Amino acid sequence: MPNTAPAESSSPVRNPWAWVPTGYFAEGIPYVMITWVAATMFKNLSDSGTVDISLTEITFWIGNVTLAWSLKPLWAAFLEMFKSKKWIAIAMEFVLVGLFATLAFCLPLPGAFTISVGILWLMAFASATHDICMDGVYITSLDKSSQAKFVGIQGMFWNVGRFFSSTAILMVAGILGDGEISSWSIAWCVAAAVLALLAGYHLIFLPKGSASKRPESVKAVYTTFFDAWVDFFRKPQIWGMLAFVFLFRSGEGLLLGVGHLFLQAPIEEGGIGLTLVEKSVIDGGLSIIMGLAGGLLGGLFISKFGLKKTLFTMAICLNVPDLTYVYMSQVASPEAPLSLVTIASLVTIEKFFYSFGFVANMLYMMQQISPGKYHMTHYAFCTAIMNLVLWPTTAVSGFLADQFGYQTFFILVMIATIPSFLAAWFAPFPQSVEDKMIS
């Protein structure tokens, strides 16, 4: 079998500040456009009477599109063998630019919802591939100490991408015409233009990351592919670690699917009734700012006290603030609507503590599970399993909300968080040196 262990890149060392922020900004944009902005768009067009789409349909199709990020192990190993990580990441950025523009021009067509779902699937596979290689650049260009230092920056600028998508793009759509197809077409074109600028920047400043020796034959390709899988499941305590990765976000898919749509749903239907601009400011701008602060402080908190000692605390931070949605759904009514200040306070509290706790999940995968000769591939395996729980829960979330109403639905969300606490309490730590390093 050919040697496939990563070799050091011959490219000059790049200052992480020159590419980590923009790399994860570019990683955050398509994910949020696909899973959050698209759902917002469909709900907005439905509430305005422009299209006839139910909440069940929106969350079912958006939830199924998220499956693409869980299928990454099927092709992640092949990305170790061909071209550089930088080349593939930038290629996917340009592919996404084209797909954003295509969706924008397809929105006015008959059957636009069906066409859009198909385009979203293509976007999702391109975005997932981009994530694999951008993460690969990160974990093979930085040592463990730098990984720990920049994990908060990584998450923070992923949230900058979310800020752009959920704030700027929604504002464009809301200001140009709330509920109008033409305004959404322009918004998608704006997103395409910004991603194109980032791709051009990365042509110059993104490092290649370490390179693997290229396979010498077709047999070597398949041998390497299967060896990556076998090596992954040979890791000490792998099943316990995978249980943690799968269950740590057990309740998130339900909240992810319906939470933000609840904020824009009409008050008469049990929602909060925010306009697109109000949603962009509250669930976009203010929430992302708090999320950025939460991610940065979460990384510093773990660096100071160690991941093993703080993991259960991080689970509390991740899940308990979901109670804010329980409260809003119980007290909001047409006779006594919540003030914007109250809504903004509750939503941003949830976002701050979610981002604070989520850092633990990323660092656990990066330093407990993925280290080894297939570091990039195995990290992709981890993120795929992490996202796998979001697929069924997001897909079914709209159905549950339609069947039981928002008040009961958010109580179900809290029940669904219980496995997250168990996963954090029993999570194994075979790489004990990691905690010494970052504590």
* Domain ranges (residues) in the chain: 16-438
Question: Is it the case that residue 2 has pLDDT exceeding 80?
Answer: no
Digit-coded pLDDT (tens) for 215-268: 566 676 678 778 888 889 999 999 999 999 999 999 999 999 999 999 999 999
Q: Which residues in 330-374 belong to E strands, given as ranges? A: none
305-313: long-range pairs with CB below 8 Å, 24+: 305/439, 306/435, 306/438, 306/439, 307/360, 307/363, 307/364, 307/367, 307/429, 307/434, 307/435, 307/438, 308/429, 308/435, 309/435, 309/439, 310/360, 311/360, 311/364, 311/424, 311/427, 312/421, 312/424, 312/425
Bridge partners, residue 7, by sequence? 211
Q: Residues 225, 226, 231, 232: what is their CA dihedral angle, to the nearest 10 degrees? A: 80
Question: Is it the case that residue 188 has pLDDT exceeding 50?
Answer: yes
Cα separation of 137 and 89, whole Å? 9
Among 2-11, 156-165, 344-353, the minimum mean pLDDT is found in 2-11
pTM of the full structure:
0.83
Domain 16-438 has CATH 1.20.59.10: no
| Residue type at 267 in one-letter notation | I
Provide the percentage of residues in the chain whose pLDDT is more than 90: 61
Check residue 221 and give its pLDDT: 66
Dihedral sign from CA coordinates of 396, 402, 404, 410 = positive
